[in-house]
Structure 1
Amino acid sequence: MSSADRPQLAYLTDALNELKQKGTHFRLRVLEDQQAPVCHYDGKQVINLASNNYLGLANHPELIEAALKATRELGVGSGAVRTIAGTMKIHMDLEEKIARFKNVEACVVFQSGFAANAGTVSAILGKEDFILSDELNHASIIDGARLSRAKIKVFRHKDVAHCEELLQEVANEPGRKLVITDGVFSMDGDIGPVDKLGALAEKYGAIMMVDDAHASGVLGRNGRGSIDHFGMHGRVDVQVGTLSKAIGALGGYVCGSRDLIDYLYHRARPFLFSTSHPPSVAATCIAAFDILEQEPERIDRLWENTRYFQRELRRAGFNVGGVNTPATETPITPVILGEGRLTMDFSRALFDEGVMGTGIAFPTVPEGKARIRLIVTSEHTRANLDQALDTLERVAKRMGILQ
């Protein structure tokens, strides 16, 4: 059916045509096997540098076996939202497992990291309250802030002094204040100043919240995240994490005091109105946290690969952050090109040469900051990385990106 048949949707076709003219339109690439360092997308074998599967847990044999065992014993679905009939013992076991791992009183699991962020912010604040948010915070934080109807104050990226200025502006206003930051920023890979913002929140009596999606499994002891990385246990009121990246499965979670979690059981809309995880997913996540404790060498390999890959990209002349752009400090490695069309063309050319690197352009990143976003994992071999580096440099020179 075309827009000629349904003219009321013609504006969507116009918007898509505009994306095509800008060169930033894309189509979904289809993975045909496991989410692995080398895999097949659209029938082509590629070195996969686009995945959040940091530690290779998405296809770890112990996680696969845990999923199969839970399915055989408990079925494929939970049957309901958790407040009606869908809370299974395995869901409670997972929440207790995460709470112990994160050194907090309690935890609640959501169906996605996006739902965890949006559901929590919108539940704990109202229209009389204030949110102080880093300008590069994740879209789920932004949406949650809007849903809360609280007044939103945006501080410059990682600018603690600017955040304090905004806190001073609203200090005498009625309502609660919430300071929120990503632990690791998803597009630039830099680490949020959790320690300094946490101290600031304490000084002004504000709630402190951290989205640790890209820090979970990457920073801190055994991947406990940015709160552990900065030694901020007990000083961050709301910790959000994901089960969809380093943990290798699906979902998000919120950690904090028992009262916070009990309140979210009663008021977080994604929790109240979405069917709970299949038991296979909960079992997989439990097994993943065991692996984090038992195989810390995976995180060591992740960082070894990251340091090597980023060093070689810089040596070749690529811009991977710094000078008017945040500098990466984690396995998230942006190759910044600036112009959207060039970036998407580079991404497609890399794919044709056997490297999967996703092009990111406006509105995900600001105009003029388009980039190829690359992530190495613990499971990439040195040969994988060298082949990818050779391809990146060769294609970039052919396209005039590098001299």
Structure 2
Amino acid sequence: MFDDHLQHIYDRATANSRIRTLTDFHSDGVHLWHEGVRYLSFASNDYLGIASSLARLADASLHGAGASRFVIGNHAAYAHTEALLAQIQHSEAALLFPSGYQAHLGVIPALLGKDDLIMMDKYAHACMVDGARLSGATVRRFRHNDLQHLSTLLAKHRSHARACMILTETVFSMDGDRAPLHALRALADSYDAWLMVDDAHGLGIPSSDSIVPIEVHTGTCSKSLGMIGGYVCGSRLLIDTLTQSARSLLFTTALPEAIVMRIAHGLDILMREPERGIKVMQLAQRFCAQCHLPVPSSPIIPIILGSNEHALSVHYALRELGMWVPAIRPPTVPEGTARLRISLSASHTEDQIDLLADYIARSDRLVKKPIG
């Protein structure tokens, strides 16, 4: 019976401290409210502190778009915002989607099909995985950031495919590390393959990888830009092609004008104030130095604890001290790598970072188990 099937899935999903619940939060800058208690938050993706700035922007047009962009949903704010996105990603053109997830569900199947090959990093986000599966292309996963494994797979499978695209991310959401884009570019060129890179967690964060040529550059407006929406950047021909063939763009309601205007506002801040990205990385380096962690590549800092129980214990210990640091568990991360995922913002202060480092050590003593 269907109910029995559902119960089996539920029981399996909630075993070993994996149960997840939907709960309400209210964000207030770098603080959040939960069940009437105010916490200093280290859970937001507001890396550059732009979301707080957007809250002060006067309301524009708050009504919905009413239809897809191809009916009556398009508006002037789109062209301006897409031009800014293209400029930031050093591309000829850009295309906005309602979300980053929808962007990948539309872009990958629009570009690849059953005669093609997709090489994808093992840690690539679920939206890339789902888009790749939806395309019907042959999908091969290479070990995370393992160039030798990717090279072996390309040597074995590339000659059998019409086209090949390598899928990865600039910054990986659970580990905070970066893809070796320069080396991936060289490998792609040697096998006549293309690069598709998701910049969801890397936008605005200082990096030397911005000079790497990339055929398909995707991202989201919900992290560093403090809003919602997704995008793809590339050549004018790429954008024109996707405008005709990306089904998740063609058959969905457009983003409201107010949302698109706020995306543009976030992009303006990002371009005017690059010091936000510099500051958040300085804070990340400060925290890691105090906690004797490796030099960070991004504002995402994982502290691997191993078991689900240990991660939850430290999470609750920090919560008792007024800190909200998420515990991330399988299947979101590999078995045996349950962790704290610390997400820093340019809106955090040095004092708050120092307090977090102190409380991490204090929570370690509270749970009677060493961190790391």
TM-score bin (small chain): over 0.9
RMSD: 1.9
Distance 1:76 1:67 in 2: 15
Structure 1 position 49 matched with structure 2 position 17: no
Q: In the alignment, which residue of structure 2 is the partner of 1:96?
A: 83
Q: In the alignment, which residue of structure 1 is the partner of 2:331?
A: 363
1:218 to 190, 205, 215: 205
Distance 2:321 2:289 in 1: 22
Q: In the alignment, which residue of structure 2 is the partner of 1:122?
A: 109
Q: In the alignment, which residue of structure 2 is the partner of 1:350?
A: 318
Distance 2:3 2:291 in 1: 44
Distance 2:170 2:258 in 1: 28
Letter in structure 2 aligned against 1:387 = L
Identity rate, percent: 35
Q: In the alignment, which residue of structure 1 is the partner of 2:346?
A: 378
TM-score by length of 2: 0.94
Secondary structure of the structure 2 residue equivalent to 1:335: strand
Structure 1 position 146 matched with structure 2 position 133: yes
Q: Which runs of 5+ in 2 are unaligned?
A: none
Distance 1:149 1:110 in 2: 22
Secondary structure of the structure 1 residue equivalent to 2:82: helix
Report 1:302-341 matches (<5 A).
Answer: 302-314=280-292, 328-341=296-309
Q: Do 2:317 and 2:367's aligned partners in 1 also have CA atoms closer than 8 Å?
A: no
Structure 1 position 134 matched with structure 2 position 121: yes
CA, structure 1 residues 18+207, in 2 after alignment: closer, same or farther (shift >3 Å)?
Answer: closer
Q: Do 1:118 and 1:140's aligned partners in 2 also have CA atoms closer than 8 Å?
A: yes
Structure 1 position 176 matched with structure 2 position 155: no
Letter in structure 1 aligned against 2:166 = V
Structure 1 position 398 matched with structure 2 position 363: no
Q: In the alignment, which residue of structure 1 is the partner of 2:231?
A: 253
Distance 1:219 1:267 in 2: 33
Q: Do 1:298 and 1:378's aligned partners in 2 also have CA atoms closer than 8 Å?
A: yes
Q: In the alignment, which residue of structure 1 is the partner of 2:259?
A: 281
Q: Which runs of 4+ in 1 moved over 6 A?
A: none
Secondary structure of the structure 1 residue equivalent to 2:72: helix
1:203 to 164, 175, 190: 190
Paired residue total = 371
Q: In the alignment, which residue of structure 2 is the partner of 1:317?
A: none
Distance 2:324 2:105 in 1: 30
Distance 1:204 1:15 in 2: 41
Residue 399 of structure 1 deviates from its aligned partner by 0.9
TM-score by length of 1: 0.87
Q: In the alignment, which residue of structure 1 is the partner of 2:240?
A: 262
Q: Do 2:175 and 2:302's aligned partners in 1 also have CA atoms closer than 8 Å?
A: yes
Letter in structure 1 aligned against 2:46 = N
Distance 2:30 2:56 in 1: 21
CA, structure 1 residues 283+78, in 2 after alignment: closer, same or farther (shift >3 Å)?
Answer: same
Secondary structure of the structure 2 residue equivalent to 1:380: coil
More moved, 18-27 vs 295-304: 18-27
Q: In the alignment, which residue of structure 2 is the partner of 1:22?
A: 16
Residue 171 of structure 1 deviates from its aligned partner by 3.2
CA, structure 1 residues 271+67, in 2 after alignment: closer, same or farther (shift >3 Å)?
Answer: farther
Q: Which runs of 5+ in 1 are unaligned?
A: 1-6, 221-225, 315-319, 322-326
Letter in structure 1 aligned against 2:315 = S
Q: Do 2:117 and 2:158's aligned partners in 1 also have CA atoms closer than 8 Å?
A: no
Structure 1 position 58 matched with structure 2 position 26: no
Distance 1:102 1:271 in 2: 20
Distance 2:314 2:20 in 1: 13
